């Protein structure tokens, strides 16, 4: 059979599937930028540039049981997450990054013909996983400040609606959805997935309300606040029946032992890590003020660890390219709903200094 023949056997709804445009890994830029790979400033994937707790490195260096599979039921991990969230372990499931739980929740609820309401622009993995399941995306536009239009969400509900996806703070815009708005949407009775990947930076959560609703689910991650993006550890808080189903459908060993050790150590070092979160929040405000001084950018207020900017003069793609050549990575967008914009992660003060200097240079060359 030719490869073309094999391709014809792929599920037809995937014919137009475009995949996810992931951030660039610094090592792939060796020789293409003006700085050494180790000096690249990575502000393109909302990672934590302070790194993880040093306790994680120490514990992983001597961990003796890499030859043993992790506990498929995540017993210890879910207990630790109970301690961190204050929500009983029966509500909690962990995953290989919260991306995996977006996928699993949608796989649990969505099949061909089912509708998923998505408040766009938002995190690309929502559309990715919906399309992978064969679901139909029903897109509800955010307003000019990227706030969620609750009435439009409610008006978009049809008999086929099986899920409403909400990110708060939203990626890439940094906007939060106020709790009363979330609850008004939850009160429709449709399953609602609230992605709180950046909650440690915003301080606003609905996780404590999950036990009161049958249709409210919350996702979290250790990628951002705890600096563990590379180890892939996320979790969700669900009604217990849904948690039971997610434990059933996940691959048995989806969270590896290194991630478990990293969570254990991070939670022992919580004051240190939350101190870093505080520093990032303070730096976010300084970065916002500095970006506002540039005539060609309009930064939007953010409750996360990144800042979204409309490009008022010039092209976002060119700004991204020029910054990349100087060794500073940011994300650019030029999509129907995200015309000419960049998203910049918040790093340490020295990263802000380097970025702002480079942006001023770019501005002078315009
Ligand atoms: C809104 C949102 N949800 C989930 C994720 C994925 O996080 P994780 O690293 O836990 O898969 C991201 C990552 O950028 C995100 O922005």
Tens-digit pLDDT profile for residues 202-250:
999 999 999 999 999 999 999 999 999 999 999 999 999 999 999 999 9
Residue 163 and residue 110 in contact, taking contact as beta carbons nearer than 8 Å: yes
1 pLDDT tier (thresholds 50, 70, 90): low
pLDDT tens profile 350-361: 999 999 999 999
Name which of 249, 366, 271, 255 is nearest 313 in CA terms: 366
pLDDT tens profile 254-287: 999 999 999 999 999 999 999 999 999 999 999 9
44 pLDDT tier (thresholds 50, 70, 90): very high
Report how far ligand 1's centroid is from the alpha carbon of 195 (Å): 8
Q: Give the ligand 1 atom nearest the CA of 102.
A: 4
On the question of pLDDT at 61 being above 80, the answer is yes
Q: Looking at residue 327, what is its pLDDT?
A: 97
Q: Looking at residue 15, what is its pLDDT?
A: 85
Cis peptide before 262 (omega within 30 of 0): no
182 pLDDT tier (thresholds 50, 70, 90): very high
As a whole number, mean pLDDT of residues 183-206 equals: 98
Task: With H, G, I as helix, E, B as strand and everything else as coil, classify residue 217.
Answer: strand
Q: Looking at residue 55, what is its pLDDT?
A: 98
pLDDT tens profile 119-149: 999 999 999 999 999 999 999 999 999 999 9
On average, the pLDDT of the chain sits at 96
Strand 92-95 to strand 338-345: parallel, antiparallel, or no bridges (unpaired)? unpaired
Q: Is 324 in the pocket of ligand 1 (CB under 6 A)?
A: no
Exposure letters 238-262 (e unless 16+ CB within 10 A, then b): bbeebbebbbeebeeebbbbbbbbb
Which two tokens mark 20? Answer: 């996810």
Euclidean distance between the first and the last CA atom of the chain, given in angstroms as a whole number? 54
> Alpha helices of the chain — where are they, by DSSP H?
3-7, 54-62, 75-85, 98-109, 124-133, 150-155, 179-186, 199-202, 240-249, 257-268, 270-292, 316-325, 349-365
What percentage of residues in the chain have a pLDDT greater than 90?
93
Report how far ligand 1's centroid is from the alpha carbon of 197 (Å): 6
Q: Looking at residue 32, what is its pLDDT?
A: 93
Q: Is 166 in the pocket of ligand 1 (CB under 6 A)?
A: no
Report how far ligand 1's centroid is from the alpha carbon of 236 (Å): 12
What crossing angle do the helices spanning 349-365 and 316-325 adopt, rounded to 10°? 120
Q: Looking at residue 311, what is its pLDDT?
A: 98
Report how far ligand 1's centroid is from the alpha carbon of 266 (Å): 18
Question: Which residue, judged by its Cα, is nearest atom 7 of ligand 1?
Answer: 98
Q: Is 202 in the pocket of ligand 1 (CB under 6 A)?
A: no
On the question of pLDDT at 2 being above 80, the answer is no
Q: What is the pTM of this model?
A: 0.97
Q: Looking at residue 355, what is its pLDDT?
A: 98
Measured distance CA(116)–CA(162) in Å, rounded: 6
Q: Is 105 in the pocket of ligand 1 (CB under 6 A)?
A: no
Q: Looking at residue 21, what is its pLDDT?
A: 87
On the question of pLDDT at 110 being above 60, the answer is yes
Measured distance CA(97)–CA(251) in Å, rounded: 13
On the question of pLDDT at 8 being above 80, the answer is yes
18 pLDDT tier (thresholds 50, 70, 90): confident
Q: Is 229 in the pocket of ligand 1 (CB under 6 A)?
A: yes
User: What dihedral do alpha carbons 91, 96, 101, 104 form, nearest 10°?
Assistant: -110
Distances (CA, A) of 228 to 21, 174, 217: 21, 20, 22
Measured distance CA(64)–CA(261) in Å, rounded: 11
On the question of pLDDT at 151 being above 80, the answer is yes
Q: Looking at residue 337, what is its pLDDT?
A: 86
Q: What is the DSSP string of 336-351?
A: TTEEEEEEEE---HHH
Residue labelled with tokens 């802000």: 352
Name which of 339, 303, 343 is nearest 323 in CA terms: 343
On the question of pLDDT at 39 being above 90, the answer is yes
Q: Looking at residue 268, what is its pLDDT?
A: 98
């Amino acid at each position: 059979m030719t490869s073309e023949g094999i391709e014809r056997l792929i599920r037809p709804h995937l014919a137009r599937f475009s995949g996810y445009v992931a951030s660039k890994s610094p090592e792939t830029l060796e020789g293409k930028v003006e700085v050494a790979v180790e000096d690249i400033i990575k502000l393109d994937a909302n990672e934590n540039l302070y790194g993880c707790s040093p306790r994680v490195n120490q514990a992983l260096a001597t961990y003796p049981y890499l030859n043993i599979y992790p506990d498929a039921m995540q017993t210890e991990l879910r207990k630790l997450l109970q301690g961190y969230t204050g929500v009983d372990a029966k509500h909690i499931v962990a995953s290989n990054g919260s991306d995996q739980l977006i996928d699993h929740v949608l796989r649990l609820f969505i099949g061909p013909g089912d509708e998923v309401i998505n408040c766009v622009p938002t995190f690309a993995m929502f559309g990715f996983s919906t399309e992978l399941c064969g679901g139909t995306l029903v897109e509800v536009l955010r307003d000019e400040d990227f706030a969620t239009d609750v009435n439009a969400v409610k008006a978009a509900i049809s008999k086929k609606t099986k899920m409403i996806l909400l990110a708060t703070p939203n990626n890439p815009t940094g906007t939060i959805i106020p709790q009363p708005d979330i609850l008004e949407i939850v009160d429709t009775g449709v399953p609602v997935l609230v992605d709180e990947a950046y909650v440690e930076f915003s301080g606003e959560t609905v996780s404590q309300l999950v036990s009161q609703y049958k249709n409210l689910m919350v996702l979290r991650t250790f990628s951002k606040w705890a600096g563990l993006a590379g180890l892939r550890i996320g979790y969700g808080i669900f009604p217990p029946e849904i948690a039971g189903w997610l434990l059933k459908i996940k691959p048995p060993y989806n969270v590896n032992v290194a991630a478990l050790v990293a969570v254990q150590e991070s939670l022992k070092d919580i004051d240190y890590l939350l101190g870093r979160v505080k520093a990032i929040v303070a730096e976010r405000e300084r970065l916002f003020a500095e970006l506002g001084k540039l005539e060609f950018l309009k930064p939007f207020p953010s409750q996360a660890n990144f800042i979204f900017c409309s490009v008022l003069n010039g092209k976002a793609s060119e700004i991204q390219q020029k910054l990349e050549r100087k060794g500073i990575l940011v994300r650019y967008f030029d999509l129907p709903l995200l015309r000419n914009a960049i998203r910049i992660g918040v790093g340490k003060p020295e990263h802000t200094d380097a970025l702002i200097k480079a942006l001023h240079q770019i501005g002078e060359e315009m």
